[in-house]
Amino acid sequence: MNLSIRQLFGRKPKSSSIAKQRLKLVITQDRFDVDDRVMTRLHHELAEVLAKYFEFSANSVKMDLKQEGNSYILVADFPYTKFHETNMRQ
């Protein structure tokens, strides 16, 4: 409201609205970076556990965080080549 009326009068945008815009962008990026680090760690830890049971090549693994409405869904693809025999007998 405030802003649109000021724009109507053709003034320069106030520095506070520039601040807000820049902050929104940078914070989205910050949050994503943090998530990214957590995902990398989770990726390693999951791979470590799964490697006890399956054989797979590390670069075939895909992990993705999807947002649906208010919740997140973690989708992980670990295409395996075979079970470890030892584990199957237990």
Binding site for another protein (CB under 8 A): 1-2, 5-6, 14-17, 19-20, 22-24, 26-27, 30-31, 34
Nearest approach, Cβ of 37 to another protein (angstroms)?
12
Return the percent helix, strand and coil in the chain, to nearest 5. 55, 20, 25
User: Least distance in Å: CB of 9 to another protein?
Assistant: 9
Smallest separation, CB 69 to another protein (Å): 17
Give 26 or 58: the residue with its C-beta nearer to another protein: 26
Q: 38 phi and psi, to 5 degrees? A: -65, -40
DSSP string, 64-86: EEEEETTEEEEEEE---SEE-HH
